[in-house]
Amino acid sequence: MLQVENLTVYYKTIRGYVQALEQATFKIADGEIMGLAGESGCGKTTLGHSLIYLRPPMNYIGGRVVLDGQELPIWDMEKMREFRYRHVSLIPQYAMNALNPTRKIGRMIAELLESRGVNYNDVLPELKRRLDLVQLTHDVLKMYPIELSGGMKQRTVMVVSTLLNPSLLIADEITSALDVSTQKAVCEMLVEFRDRGFVKSTIIITHDISILYQIADSILVMYAGQLSEKAPSEIIFRDARHPYTRLLIGSLPKVGVRYREERLRGIPGSPPQLLNPPPGCRFRERCPVAFDRCVEVPPFLEISPGHFVACWRAY
């Protein structure tokens, strides 16, 4: 069970703070797969990384993260170390380059595990079972990353990241580099990991909301560093209340990837600068139904069980 309260994280730059994550508050239940969606640059990776790996130029401004009843010291890189991997784990956006090119994969995993005080040989049988599960031969352990295709590397990283059964898994854009059929397979593997109890809660970050439809239990939509809406998936797709979510869903093409760029252009205007964002609702400038009230920040309120939304028109 993950609880995030008022989490605020900025990037410190020479021109000032980039306000990439503002007052985020949400929960993820055990066994829940939550999709995190929004346009490029809206702060999805920032949110994901804050939960595990908050390093400069990211700056912790405020808020709490509680995992399984224990507060995570996310502002302290050193103290956070022991929580990483065992409790919170990450499949990074750059999974294709995440493996050391000059180490055989098995040896790298062994060294990684030993460095975390886990005996490789104890884990090896389970590791092999999981390789089977994602349809990789055991030979990958004897190979160098360069010998693997992109999809194989991706699956290897998925297995490595979840090997210690973390409570929370953050999967960042794991499908964007893959073709449509592989995307589906990779997503199904994440569901499988959850069903088998390898991970408890999962956050799947994507800017392609359509891939979330079949796999995510709930979807959290972000816009320009603010949370817009969180609800069970079918509510997001059928009965979204936030104007941004509606535009996002309304402009969904029939088949995913190829139209992604067009879809983003489908909503007129572009997101505001996060360096000095306008006060109030950050969607205001593009919102077709904006009114006077919107110069104040709308609170993220639960309008029906499990359905949260931040919009003055929705309450």
Partner 1 sequence: MVRYLGRKIFIYLLTFFVAVTIDWLIPRFMPGDPIGMLLSRIGSRPEAFKYLYTYYVQAFQLDVPLWQQYVNFWKGLFQGDLGVSIWMYPQPVMTIIRRAIPYDIFLLLPAILLSWFAGNHVGALAARIRWLDNTILPLGYLLTATPYMWLALVLVWFLGNQTNLFPIAGAYSPQYRPHLSLTFILDVLHHWFLPFLSLFLVMFGGWAIGMRNMIIYELESDYSRYLEALGTPQYLIRRYAFRNAMLPQITGLALQLGGIVAGAVATEVVFAYPGIGYIILNAVQNKDYFLVQGCFLFIILGVLIANFLIDLVYVLVDPRTRLGMTGE
Ligand X SMILES: Nc1ncnc2c1ncn2[C@@H]1O[C@H](COP(=O)(O)OP(=O)(O)OP(=O)(O)O)[C@@H](O)[C@H]1O
Q: Is 108 helix (H, G, I), strand (E, B) or coil?
A: helix
Say whether residue 193 binds ligand SF4 (CB under 6 A).
Answer: no
- Which of 27, 284, 294 minimizes the C-alpha distance to 168? 27
- Which of 224, 314, 209, 210 minimizes the C-alpha distance to 269? 224
With CB atoms as reference, the residue minimizing the distance to ligand X is: 45
CA distances from 99 to 94, 109, 213, 216 (A): 10, 10, 30, 27
Task: Please name the residue that has the structure tokens 């999981």.
Answer: 130
Taking CB under 6 A as the criterion, the residue among 2, 7, 24, 46 binding ligand X is 46
**CA torsion through residues 154, 156, 157, 163, sign:** positive
Taking CB under 6 A as the criterion, the residue among 37, 169, 190, 287 binding ligand SF4 is 287
Cβ neighbours, 10 Å, residue 304:
11
- Applying CB under 8 A, the residues found at the interface with partner 1 are 49, 52-53, 55, 80-86, 89-90, 92, 94, 97-104, 111-112, 115-116, 144, 146-147, 157, 160-161
Q: Which of ligand SF4, ligand X, partner 1, none interacts with 11 (beta carbon under 5 to 8 A by kind)?
A: ligand X
Say whether residue 274 binds ligand X (CB under 6 A).
Answer: yes
Say whether residue 311 binds ligand SF4 (CB under 6 A).
Answer: yes
User: Footprint of Mg ion on residues 45-84 (CB under 5 A)?
Assistant: 45
Say whether residue 218 binds Mg ion (CB under 5 A).
Answer: no
Say whether residue 284 binds ligand SF4 (CB under 6 A).
Answer: yes
- Cis omega (within 30 of 0) on the bond before 272? no
Residue 10 or 198 with smaller CB distance to ligand X: 10
Provide the binding-site residues for ligand X, judged by CB under 6 A. Answer: 11, 13, 18, 20, 38, 40-46, 57, 207, 274
